[in-house]
Structure formats: structure tokens, C-alpha cells
Amino acid sequence: MTQTQVESKIKIERLKDVESLMPELLKLYIKSYQGLEEYAYTDPSSIRRYFRWLFRHDPQGFFLAKDKNRIVGFIAVDATWISHGEKVGEIHELAVDPDQRGKGIAKMLIEEAFRYFKNKGLKKSGLWVGEHNRGAQHLYRKLGFEECYTKGIWIRMEKKL
């Protein structure tokens, strides 16, 4: 199947209520971070708290990738974030089901986030990625992000919108 066919099958939609989808999101998050646990919350109560935090900070900025009714990926962003005194569209979280990777789903989610940020008048997007999370770093570089600096195990990447 080509990437265009996959894209037409996957629909991106805004999350409306985090509580009702919590069990599905929790499962997807744990599955997505298998092998990368050093960069993730691992106990379910912390993950639930984290999801509530993400949704509360920007209730408009949580997008789901759906294949029919199944969630296959999500991105949680914040269009009200300030980094070093500057407004940035912050990408807090991104995950795609390991069984659905390499089909352009993360790219679709990030592009949706860019549209959202641009509608809010933002000029820059930023994120933190784990220093050994080479797959995600590769994806972000492909989409125009550049490494800025590191803090502990995290690398700061930013991109002009």
C-alpha cells in the first residue's frame, strides 16, 4: 500500500474528552514506549495524570490518528507554551502504534500540529527528545527540526514555522 493510500485511510481528529478514551490511550502509550521506557512514565497512575495534564494545558491541542474507530497514534501539543521568554508551539507527546509505523502517521500528526500552531500565529515549534531515541530524532530532522542544546538525557529541537 502506498503512503497516499494509507493517508486516505487514516483520519486525524481532535480529542474531545480525555477520560472516556483513557484506557485506549494508556494502552497505546505503554505499547509505543516499549524499549524506550527511560523516556516515559511507566506506571498507569502516572500515565493517567500525565494525560490529564496534557489535555488540561491545551484542550485544543490533542489530536488522534484513527483507523476507523481505532486510535493508532496521537500527538499532544501546547500552543500557549513559553520557552526562554518566547511563544512556541510545544510538542509534548507523540506516539504511533508499533504495528502501524513507517506509514507516515507521525508525519500527518505533526503536520496537523503545525497547521494548528500557524492558525494561532506561532512562528516556532519546539520539543524535547531522548538522547538515544534515534528514530524520533530522525523523524524530527526530516520534518525540519534542528538540535539546539541538551539538558541531561534530553535534546532540545526547534523549527521555524
Ligand X SMILES: CC(C)(COP(=O)(O)OP(=O)(O)OC[C@H]1O[C@@H](n2cnc3c(N)ncnc32)[C@H](O)[C@@H]1OP(=O)(O)O)[C@@H](O)C(=O)NCCC(=O)NCCS
Secondary structure letter of residue 134 according to DSSP: H
Cα 24–Cα 105–Cα 49 angle in degrees, nearest 5: 35
Q: Cβ closer to ligand X: 18 or 155?
A: 155
- Contact call for residue 87 and ligand X (CB under 6 A): no
Residue 64 β-bridge partners: 13, 74
Q: Cβ closer to ligand X: 2 or 121?
A: 2
- Contact call for residue 105 and ligand X (CB under 6 A): yes
Q: Cβ closer to ligand X: 99 or 121?
A: 99
The SS3 call for residue 12 is: strand
Q: Cβ closer to ligand X: 29 or 85?
A: 29
Judged by CB under 6 A, the chain residues 115 through 144 that form the site for ligand X are: 127, 129, 133, 135-136, 138-139, 142
Burial grade of 69 (CB within 10 A; 0-12, 13-18, 19 or more): exposed
- Figure out which of the listed residues 7, 87, 104, 120 binds ligand X, where binding follows CB under 6 A: 104
**Contact partners, residue 22, CB within 8 Å, separation at least 6:** 48, 51
Q: Residue 140 Cβ, how far from ligand X at the closest point, in Å?
A: 8
CA 130 to CA 160: how far, in whole Å? 21
Q: Residue 59 Cβ, how far from ligand X at the closest point, in Å?
A: 21
Give the other-Cβ count within 10 Å of 13's Cβ: 11
Secondary structure letter of residue 144 according to DSSP: T
Applying CB under 6 A, which part among 12-20, 32-40, 46-54, 144-152 lies near ligand X? 32-40
- Figure out which of the listed residues 15, 76, 106, 113 binds ligand X, where binding follows CB under 6 A: 106
Residues that bind ligand X (CB under 6 A): 32-33, 36, 94-96, 101-107, 127, 129, 133, 135-136, 138-139, 142
